[in-house]
A and B are shown apart, each in its own frame.
Chain A
Amino acid sequence: MKHYSVGGTSYLAKRLGGKEKIVHALDGVSFDVNKDETLGVVGESGCGKTTLARTVLLLTPPTSGTILFEDCDITKLPSRDLRALRSKIQIVFQDPISSLDPRMRVRDIVSEPLIGAGLRDQKVLRERTEAMLERVGLSRDAMNRFPHQFSGGQRQRIGIARALVCEPEFIVLDEPTSALDASIQAQVLNLLRKLRKDMRLSSMFISHNINVVCYMSERIAVMYAGEMVEVGPTREILSNPSHPYTQTLLAAVPKVDPTRRRADTEIIGEQPSPVSPPSGCRFHPRCPFVMDKCRTVKPDQIAVSPNHWASCHLLSK
């Protein structure tokens, strides 16, 4: 059952100054997130995943396309209804330092979504905030303290508490552990796994770290230069990566095992600028299997197996 469906969404920003240029931050991105499922989104810097996180929640409205939450197109909602909807869709940000207002106490930070949802009863606000803080592993006396009194991992827990305090149904996790040390990351990831099971959340887990994304997600979407190039169940993508970029990415990830050092496959070039993406298939300048067709014709989404597609001309043979 589709919980969250994004169809053909684009975010084409206009960059001004001299010549008007279009920044193709997101170009025709389509995917679904099913109930109780986590979709992982992986890609390198500039692929558009950060823009995707903002656009999916309409923090930055897309320039075109539809976003359906439980069959309702939220891009068409008037702003008041959209604000009311926000208690059901929430986000955890990347930076534990700048995502918390340094001048607010923790209890005010965490209870903010409840206030946004219209809750005014001080007693209920306090109870729910306390309960949520306990669930993320922080003690009650955290309520009256300020963010700078906490460590990075604890601040991220505060951010998680804030996102979950109004019991949303869908959350976006935008690089939630990228700023944390490895040992703290493990704590936060395990906490997220437990919470999403207990609270029956659907979510989107965005990260540049493939290991983390695969650990946290049942399905994965690979992004490149503003487009999704491959989507499928995690295990299938790992065992049968079908898009050349996915293959490149998996080959490039350092394995935590010195006996399995990468074969020295040559990986060339860098991700294109979103202002002037290559024609046809955007990966063609770096693709080891490039054909003539790839330079001019954009590939369709081709099914590799029932749940797994990739957009590559190689697959349409």
Chain B
Amino acid sequence: MATPLLSLENVRLEFGTEQGIVHALRGVDLTVGTNEVVGLVGESGCGKTVLGLSVLDLNPVPPANLLPGSRILFQGRDLAKLPRNEFALVRGTGISMIFQEPASSLNPVFTVGDQIAESIRLRIQRQQNSQPSAPLSQTVNQEVLEALKLVRIADPERVARRYPHELSGGMKQRAMIAMAMAAKPSLLIADEPTTALDVTIQAQILRLMRDLMKEVRTSILFITHDLGVIAEIADRVAVMYTGRIVEEANVEELFKEPLHPYTQGLLASLPKLSELDKEIQQLPGSVPDAINPPEGCSFHPRCKFAMDHCRTKTPELKTIKPGHKVACHLY
């Protein structure tokens, strides 16, 4: 089997806060292969954003603290062991990240073109660190226009001269994708990129991302709370709950035969246009406190199948069927 593009092994991370230690990630194992979209889905507080940020070491340290034993491997190399300049190269050229609110990621006092140019320039300089001369502005501008065309912006020269506040939400998000893709990364981490967008714009952006994946051969780690979006775009799905992955499967398999009670509950709680007559099933209780998560399987207080040893023993993520893993004592 080929080396996976990204491999997360036993990633554990905590945050020190005034109220206590927040156990944000409690042993996450996840891989992303080449040319695939892995969806990471969960509700607020499950740790999915923290996980995305951990790959590029973007969690503020302190208060974040990556615990020993956590390994993050990109193209087989342990990112924690890379010297700083090599890690800087990985960020932005190997792995890129886009976020939910494009307005806060784009600097309001620079034009869109300038910002894309900056990331291109940095990438070129890092790649040619034996010749630290500034790259030709012609080359850079050319790449800026190409990046904008890549994200299907109709009039790239005009848009490159615009400031972020002059663009609509959808355009800003495309600009951010352009910035992230300008370096042609092997992996794109997308943290709720369409959550703030209208449904019709979201459809456009999702389609764009699928196309980009095929054209540029970029894998995507797509983080979201929206199961509908996951169904649209993901090839494989990992479901997160209180800092752990509780189920992982191919997207069709997950929706057709969810095994973990949390996944089942989540799917049953969504109103679906095709089933308007049925009353949606609600999951009792609420997401537990990340400082004191329940012992054993942290879902047990809300689980209708809870057995005695669910309260004490944490279930491991095991392969039940080919390509389908669950962390649950039922299996």
Give the B-binding residues of A (Cβ under 8 A): 44-45, 151, 153, 181-187, 189-190, 193, 208, 210-212, 214-216, 234-235, 238, 248-259, 261-262, 264, 267-268, 270-271
Interface centre among B44, B199, B251, B286 (most CB of A within 10 A): B199
Given A151-B286, A235-B276: A257 and B200 interface contact (C-beta under 8 Å): no
Measured CB to CB, the nearest residue on chain A to B45 is: A181
Evaluate contact between B204 and A211: CB separation under 8 angstroms.
no
How many chain B residues sit at the interface, stated as a range, is: 35 or more
In the complex, which residues of chain A have a beta carbon less than 8 angstroms from the beta carbon of B281? 186
Q: Quick one: CB contact mask for B219-238 with A, threshold 8 Å, 1 for yes?
A: 00000011111011010000
- Apart from A44-B200, A190-B282, A270-B170, what 15 extra A-B contacts exist at CB < 8 Å? A182-B269, A183-B266, A183-B269, A208-B199, A253-B228, A253-B273, A254-B229, A256-B272, A258-B232, A258-B234, A259-B252, A267-B200, A267-B204, A270-B168, A271-B198
- State the Cβ distance, B1 to closest chain A Cβ, in Å: 24
- The answer to whether A185 and B199 touch (CB under 8 A), given A255-B228, A258-B251, A262-B232, is no
Within the assembled complex, what's the spacing in Å between the Cα atoms of A44 and B201? Answer: 10
Q: Are A182 and B266 in contact (CB under 8 A)?
A: yes
Give B206's nearest chain A residue, CB to CB.
Answer: A254
Q: Which A residues touch B200, using CB under 8 A?
A: 44, 248-249, 252, 267, 270
Cross-interface CB contact of B232 among A153, A190, A251, A254, cutoff 8 Å: A254
In order of increasing CB-CB distance, the 3 nearest A-B pairs are: A254-B228, A215-B271, A186-B269
The listed residue (A190, A249, A256) touching B227 by CB distance below 8 A is A256
Q: How many A-B residue pairs have CB under 8 A?
A: 126
Alpha-carbon distance between A299 and B313 when the two chains are bound, in angstroms: 65
Q: Are B228 and A256 in contact (CB under 8 A)?
A: yes
A264 vs B210: C-alpha distance in the bound complex, in angstroms?
11
User: Which residues from chain B contact A268 at a C-beta distance below 8 Å?
Assistant: 204
Tell me if A258 and B255 are in contact (CB < 8 A): yes
B283 at the interface (CB under 8 A from A): yes
Given A183-B266, A254-B229, A254-B231, A215 and B280 contact (CB-CB distance below 8 Å): yes
Q: Could you write out 21 A-B pairs with CB less than 8 Å apart?
A: A44-B198, A151-B286, A181-B43, A181-B225, A183-B43, A183-B269, A183-B286, A183-B287, A186-B280, A214-B276, A254-B232, A255-B273, A256-B227, A257-B274, A258-B234, A259-B252, A259-B255, A261-B231, A264-B207, A270-B170, A270-B171
How far, in Å, is A183 (CB) from chain B's closest CB? 4
Contacts of B103 in A (CB 8 A): none
Complex Cα–Cα for A185 and B265 (A): 12
Supposing A235-B276, A257-B255 touch, asked if A181 and B270 sit within 8 A by C-beta, the answer is no
CB distance from B231 to the nearest CB of A (A): 4
- Residues on A with beta carbons closer than 8 Å to the beta carbon of B207: 264
Query: Which chain A residues border B168 with CB–CB below 8 Å?
Result: 270
Smallest CB-CB separation from A269: which chain B residue? B200
A155 to chain B, nearest CB (A): 12
Contact assessment for A238 and B198 in the assembled complex, using a CB-CB cutoff below 8 Å: no
Assess whether B199 is in contact with A211, with CB atoms less than 8 Å apart: no
Say whether B270 contacts A210, CB under 8 Å. no
Residue of B nearest to A251 (CB): B203
| Residues of chain B lying within 8 A (CB to CB) of residue A214 | 271, 273, 276
Q: Give the chain A neighbours of B198 by CB distance below 8 A.
A: 44-45, 208, 270-271
Residues of B within 8 A of A254 (CB): 202-203, 206, 226, 228-229, 231-232
Report if B308 contacts A (CB, 8 A): no
* B267 proximal to A (CB < 8 A): yes
Q: How far is the CB of B304 from chain A (nearest CB, A)?
A: 13
Contact (Cβ within 8 A) A182 B231 = no
Q: B279: CB under 8 A from chain A?
A: yes
CB interface residues, B 194-214, toward A, < 8 Å: 198-204, 206-207
- Chain B residues positioned under 8 Å from A250 (CB to CB): 273
CB distance from A237 to the nearest CB of B (A): 11
Task: Write out the residue numbers on chain A whose beta carbons fall within 8 Å of the beta carbon of B231.
Answer: 254-258, 261
- The answer on a CB contact under 8 Å between A210 and B280 is no
**Which residues of B have CB within 8 Å of A261?**
231-232
With a cutoff of 8 Å between Cβ atoms, the chain A residues found around residue B204 in the complex are 267-268
Q: How far is the CA of A258 from the CA of B41 in the complex (A)?
A: 15
Kindly list chain A residues whose C-beta atoms are within 8 Å of the C-beta of B279.
Answer: 190, 193
Query: Are B170 and A256 in contact, with the CB atoms below 8 A?
Result: no
| Inter-chain contacts of B227 with A (CB < 8 A) | 182, 256
**B271's contact among A212, A258, A259, A271, by CB below 8 Å, is which?**
A212
Least Cβ–Cβ distance between A99 and chain B, in angstroms: 18
Q: Which residue from chain A places its CB closest to the CB of B199 in the assembled complex?
A: A252
B171, B200, B255, B280: residue with the most chain A Cβ atoms closer than 10 Å:
B200
